[in-house]
């Protein structure tokens, strides 16, 4: 079922959101000081491409530095990516079949706003713990 959802997601929203994350990742890698945010954008872009079967967990050792980094992220890229997830989520929720995909898009809004201090892990590894 995850594979089917991922394929539908890829066609309807995943590829476009992936491109948006890659765009912001390249943009943020232009300056040396913003490379960590560019890497975070690439990491989340891959998650946005194929999200079902993966989940987001908070890093227990994330501190004030990741919070401050997230503030910078929101200013440069986070707000635009969150708007993209909200817009695609609303568009997908217009049909009954798209509702689960729309909900998945809405679940990506928090990580699009605050990616630092989070890890993307397979669902199986979280449920085993």
Asked if pLDDT for residue 82 goes beyond 90, the answer is yes
Q: pLDDT of 41-72, one tens digit each?
A: 999 999 999 888 888 888 888 778 888 888 98
Give 64's contacts (C-beta < 8 A, 6+ positions apart): none
Indicate the average pLDDT of the chain.
88
The pLDDT of residue 129 = 52
Closest to 53 (Cα-Cα) out of 1, 105, 10: 1
């Amino acid at each position: 079922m995850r594979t089917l959802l991922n394929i539908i997601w890829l066609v309807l929203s995943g590829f476009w959101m992936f491109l948006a994350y890659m765009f912001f990742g390249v943009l943020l890698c232009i300056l040396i000081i913003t490379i960590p945010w560019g890497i975070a954008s690439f990491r989340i872009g891959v998650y946005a491409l194929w999200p079902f079967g993966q989940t987001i967990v908070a890093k227990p050792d994330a501190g004030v530095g990741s919070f401050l980094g997230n503030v910078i992220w929101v200013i440069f890229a986070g707000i635009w990516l969150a708007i993209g997830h909200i817009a695609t989520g609303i568009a997908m929720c217009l049909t009954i079949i798209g509702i689960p995909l729309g909900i998945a898009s809405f679940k990506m809004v928090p990580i699009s706003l605050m990616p630092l201090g989070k890890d993307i892990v397979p669902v199986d590894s979280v449920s085993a713990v």
